[in-house]
Amino acid sequence: MSTAPLRVRFAPSPTGYLHVGGARTALFNWLLARRTGGTFVLRIEDTDMERSSDAMVQGILDGMSWLGLTWDEGPQVGGPHAPYFQSQRLDRYRAVAAQLVASGHAYYDYRTAAPRTKTADGEETPDTFGTKSYEDTSLTLTADEVAAREAAGMPRAIRFRVPAEGRTVFPDAVHGEIGFDNAGLEDFVILRSDGYPTYHLSVVVDDMDMQITQVIRGDDHISNTPKQVLLYEALGVPVPGFAHVPLILGPDKKRLSKRHGATSVMEYSAQGIVPEAMVNFLALLGWSPGTDQELFSAAELVERFDLEGISGGNAVFNPEKLEWMNNQHIMLLPDDVLIAHARPWLVEAGLWRDAYDGEARPWLVRALTLLRPRAKRLGDIPEGLGPLVRPVTFDPAAVARHLTAEMAQHLETLAERLAVLPTFDAPSIEQVVRGTAEAGGVKAGAFMQAVRVSLVGRTVSPGLFETIELLGLDESLARIRAGARQAQPA
């Protein structure tokens, strides 16, 4: 077992956003680096120039930053690190490809006119797979013929020569030992005829140069791994450890896709999920702490995370569970953190007041104490706060049903009694409300609905007595009396 400090990486291709699966991979790498005091590298795999752009990269960086996944290294000196970009390392891949040709592990392939098929990696391969025919390659051409073709600038790919026999085996921290027969692996392209590396080459060169000790990535890369192991071996460098994490499925057990809802983590941000909940939720997609505990802060996850807890079975993305977890985190977050998360939502709803940064902060904190239990998403906070700070708009159906002439009388009585209450706190208010209902001979529940509709114009609100306490005496009296005036004559 190596005792070298752990070095891990997240290596997304820039697709314009950080999707749930990628975010989970990034998180697992980050958690392991943070737990072991290792190094977490971010590397943007942008060698597909047509698909890559700054905007594409920004989408990934936004997702990483929202989740708090900081990386430790980058090419530039000073300031916050930029990630590594493969597009800045093309010469290095070309040099390694040439080195592999020189060492006899790879060869020039001039068969550009041969019929081609696209593999899953987008790599073009002549339809010679299986025959292992080397016609028109540097394996069968003479040195002079090769030199002449090179001098003429004839297009050619560089292909790795997979041993015809034997097995390529690697241990996987999640799945145990995995092996592939070499006879089933084609001689794969490492450098395309346009001079660009394929994924297999660039990923291995980078993981080698960046001294990555542990590769944690999606299950979909298992079939790529033997080719990469062969490359490490050909280069004579240590093979990193591998941990392939299971796929994420939708609730219908099909691979998670747009059909199931948002797949970009920033869409969840836009839906009012707090990053603390997203991190917690993603961590449990395929990893288990080995106990029933479900709620974790990022710091607790860092303490607990290990590769042994990753399950080999596929993980199911349950949106209801995410919403539940979001509510739990909204309840647990420190006031200042919750306010920072809720602020843009309050601004958007026209409810943010500068005083919330000053003298009205304690009031906002008290209001949030009432609103947190009902907030499944951040948008529920302005939704609940609006009726407390804006003039009441009455829901006609709630008025018709609850603000009857009889109730109007009791509401007037309640206002009189509240006005003389020595201590204006929720328990005392509760006594007065219940006492008023009893004295008036109406059911407490029905009376409380009438009070609620007076206070907020509708039949839903946070805890009634706490709401009255929060609104304060004057505002509560004004609202209760206005409610009484709404009542229809008997």
Which x/- pattern, by CB under 6 A, does the window 310-339 give for ligand GLU? ------------------------------
CA dihedral 273, 64, 225, 90 (to 10 degrees): 150
Cβ 255 to ligand GLU, closest distance in Å? 15
| Backbone conformation region of residue 208, classed left if phi is above 0, alpha if psi is from -120 to 50, else beta | alpha
Q: Is 45 in the site for ligand GLU (CB under 6 A)?
A: yes
Handedness of CA 262, 265, 267, 272 (dihedral sign): positive
CA–CA separation, 232 vs 170, rounded Å? 12
Q: Of the ranges 6-14, 64-72, 189-197, 340-348, which one interacts with ligand GLU (CB under 6 A)?
A: 6-14
Nearer to ligand GLU, 75 or 472 (CB): 75
Query: In sequence order, what DSSP letters do the residues of 135-152 get, joined into one string?
Result: TTBTTTS-HHHHHHHHHT
Question: Judged by CB under 6 A, how many residues of this single chain contact ligand GLU?
Answer: 7
Nearer to ligand GLU, 212 or 338 (CB): 212
Cβ 18 to ligand GLU, closest distance in Å? 11
Q: Estimate to the nearest angstrom the gap between the alpha carbon of 373 and the chain centroid.
A: 24
Nearer to ligand GLU, 159 or 217 (CB): 217
Cβ 317 to ligand GLU, closest distance in Å? 18
Cβ 460 to ligand GLU, closest distance in Å? 45
Q: Is 63 in the site for ligand GLU (CB under 6 A)?
A: no
Nearer to ligand GLU, 12 or 286 (CB): 12
Q: Is 11 in the site for ligand GLU (CB under 6 A)?
A: yes
Q: Is 119 in the site for ligand GLU (CB under 6 A)?
A: no
109 membership: H or E segment, kind and range: strand 106-109
382 neighbors 346 (Cβ within 8 angstroms): yes
Q: Both tokens of residue 5?
A: 């400090």
Q: Is 219 in the site for ligand GLU (CB under 6 A)?
A: no
The CA-atom distances, in angstroms, between 79 and each of 62, 73, 89 are 18, 11, 21
CA–CA separation, 154 vs 110, rounded Å? 7
Residues 181-210 that bind ligand GLU (CB under 6 A): 203
Is 443 part of the annotated catalytic residue set? no
Place of tokens 């070298």: 4
Query: Which one of residues 92, 94, 149, 221 is an interface residue with ligand GLU (CB under 6 A)?
Result: 221
Cβ 202 to ligand GLU, closest distance in Å? 9
Query: In sequence order, what DSSP letters do the residues of 249-315 get, joined into one string?
Result: E-TTSSBP-GGGS--BHHHHHHTT--HHHHHHHHHTSSB--SSS-----HHHHHHH--GGGB-SSPE
Cβ 213 to ligand GLU, closest distance in Å? 14
CA–CA separation, 187 vs 183, rounded Å? 10
Nearer to ligand GLU, 315 or 484 (CB): 315
Sheet-wide strand order for 106-109: 106-109, 157-160, 189-191
Q: Which one of 132, 254, 258, 443 is the catalytic residue?
A: 258
Q: Is 217 in the site for ligand GLU (CB under 6 A)?
A: yes
The catalytic site residues sit at 258
Interaction site with ligand GLU (CB under 6 A): 11-13, 45, 203, 217, 221
